């Protein structure tokens, strides 16, 4: 015969345990989130089912009968043992951590978001937050845990957190190139996607590479590098592409080289750590970002290796 057959309802024993422990139907009702009459009715049904009184009732006060004492001792011990086992087998609660990144909007939209599912699978307990910069990354990290910043000279040579060298390429969609031809051998007049606030612009690229425009070219001026890349993907013109941001688009061939030239400066981009760098989560996120970029650079290496390289001193 099962325990269930000895009880009038599955909840009867929970109601009895609370009433016996608290010595009051009203307080038991509050704990169980039911009404006091519901508790009284459940106890009466249990007593009828057992053929035994479990409580002596005297106004609001309750005292256990001999039968009630025996049942209370068993329920108290059993409930305590059940709670102990549940605590032991319950999975440890995941403590979520937040890592704040200070990076460009282009890096987030065109490099990090395409692999965000891989990030959440690798780090289910870490939430990323962002301080976004529209055109260029610079300045102190502030409260950020990790920031992408350009370094040059001795700082760059140290290689700490080295993410990607500063390489700049003319990029366009394959469809755009098919229609207009490359920048250095055009079929018709090109449109250059320009970022007026950036410290390296089209006149700098043309001067470094020695490319002479063939005829007049129009411009599309955009303030946000993420939007500029998206415009190029949509076939609206040629954009200057920093491999630190555009590596994924190049690897997927959403954008392809639009000129036989690559400008490399003395700078490189590094993932610098803020004051909270001693947190394990910060170090793990930094190392994951570095590994992902290393994989991208290996993928696009064959695409870039045949492009003539032109040097430009650090800006």
Task: Indicate if 54 and 197 belong to the same structural domain.
Answer: no
pLDDT band at 2 (very low <50, low <70, confident <90, very high): low
pLDDT digits (tens, 9 = 90+) for 225-261: 889 999 999 999 999 999 999 999 999 999 999 999 9
pLDDT band at 93 (very low <50, low <70, confident <90, very high): low
Calculate mean pLDDT across residues 48-67: 87
Determine the Cα–Cα distance for residues 241 and 238; give it in Å rounded to an integer. Answer: 9
Report the CATH number at residue 239. Answer: 3.40.190.290
Cα 110 to the chain's mean position, in Å? Answer: 14
Determine the Cα–Cα distance for residues 310 and 312; give it in Å rounded to an integer. Answer: 7
Indicate the residue among 69, 89, 109 that finishes a domain.
89
Quick one: pLDDT at residue 314? 43
Task: Indicate if 85 and 131 belong to the same structural domain.
Answer: no
Task: Indicate if 296 and 234 belong to the same structural domain.
Answer: yes
pLDDT at 52 over 70: yes
88-92, 99-103, 187-191, 289-293: lowest mean pLDDT where?
A: 88-92
Task: Indicate if 150 and 230 belong to the same structural domain.
Answer: yes
Task: Indicate if 78 and 188 belong to the same structural domain.
Answer: no
Calculate mean pLDDT across residues 43-53: 89
Please tell me the total count of domains within the chain. 2
Task: Indicate if 104 and 52 belong to the same structural domain.
Answer: no
Quick one: pLDDT at residue 301? 92
Tell me which H or E stretch contains 247.
helix 243-251
Report the CATH number at residue 71. Answer: 1.10.10.10
Say if CB 52 and CB 65 are below 8 A apart: yes
Determine the Cα–Cα distance for residues 37 and 191; give it in Å rounded to an integer. Answer: 80
Calculate mean pLDDT across residues 267-294: 89
Task: Indicate if 196 and 233 belong to the same structural domain.
Answer: yes
Tell me which H or E stretch contains 166.
strand 162-172
Indicate the residue among 61, 89, 117 that finishes a domain.
89
> Who contacts 243 (Cβ-Cβ below 8 Å, separation ≥6)?
164, 165, 167, 169, 250, 297, 300, 304
| Residue 110 DSSP code | I
Quick one: pLDDT at residue 315? 43
Indicate the residue among 89, 114, 132 that finishes a domain.
89
**Residue given tokens 């015969």 in the structure block:** 1
Say if CB 200 and CB 168 are below 8 A apart: yes
pLDDT digits (tens, 9 = 90+) for 119-130: 999 999 999 999
**Residue given tokens 């009895």 in the structure block:** 16
Task: Indicate if 123 and 85 belong to the same structural domain.
Answer: no
Task: Indicate if 181 and 248 belong to the same structural domain.
Answer: yes
pLDDT band at 87 (very low <50, low <70, confident <90, very high): confident
pLDDT band at 313 (very low <50, low <70, confident <90, very high): low
161: domain range? Answer: 97-312
Task: Indicate if 243 and 105 belong to the same structural domain.
Answer: yes
Task: Indicate if 83 and 143 belong to the same structural domain.
Answer: no
Task: Indicate if 77 and 113 belong to the same structural domain.
Answer: no
DSSP assignment of 28-82, as one string?
HHHHHTS-HHHHHHHHHHHHHHHTS--EEEETTEEEE-HHHHHHHHHHHHHHHHH
Q: Does residue 181 come out as left (phi exceeding 0), alpha (psi in the -120 to 50 range) or beta?
A: left
Confirm whether pTM is higher than 0.85. Answer: no
pLDDT band at 94 (very low <50, low <70, confident <90, very high): low
């Amino acid at each position: 015969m099962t325990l269930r057959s000895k009880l009038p309802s599955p909840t009867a024993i929970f109601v009895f345990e609370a009433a016996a422990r608290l010595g009051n139907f009203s307080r038991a009702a509050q704990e169980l989130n039911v009404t006091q009459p519901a508790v009284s009715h459940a106890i009466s049904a249990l007593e009828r089912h057992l053929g035994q009184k479990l409580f002596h009732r005297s106004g609001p006060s309750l005292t256990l009968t001999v039968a009630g004492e025996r049942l209370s001792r068993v329920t108290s011990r059993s409930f305590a043992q059940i709670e102990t086992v549940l605590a032991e087998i319950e999975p440890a609660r995941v403590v979520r951590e937040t890592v704040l990144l200070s990076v460009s909007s282009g890096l987030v939209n065109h490099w990090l978001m395409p692999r965000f599912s891989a990030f959440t699978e690798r780090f289910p307990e870490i939430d990323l937050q962002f301080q976004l910069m529209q055109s260029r990354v610079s300045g102190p990290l502030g409260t950020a845990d990790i920031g992408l910043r350009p370094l040059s000279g001795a700082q760059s040579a140290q290689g700490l957190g080295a993410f990607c060298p500063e390489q700049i390429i003319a990029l366009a969609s394959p469809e755009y190139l098919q229609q207009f031809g490359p920048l250095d051998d055009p079929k018709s007049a090109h449109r250059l996607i320009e970022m007026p606030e950036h410290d390296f612009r089209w006149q700098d690229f043309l001067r470094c590479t020695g490319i002479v425009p063939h005829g007049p070219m129009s411009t599309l001026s955009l303030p946000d590098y993420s939007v500029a890349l998206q415009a190029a993907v949509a076939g609206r013109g040629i954009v200057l592409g920093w491999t630190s941001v555009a590596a994924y688009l190049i690897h997927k061939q959403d954008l392809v080289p639009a000129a036989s030239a690559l400008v490399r400066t003395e700078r490189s981009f590094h993932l610098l750590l803020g004051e909270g760098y001693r947190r394990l989560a910060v170090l793990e996120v930094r190392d994951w970002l570095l590994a992902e970029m290393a994989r991208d650079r290996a993928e696009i290496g064959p695409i870039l290796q045949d492009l003539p390289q032109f040097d430009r001193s650090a800006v």
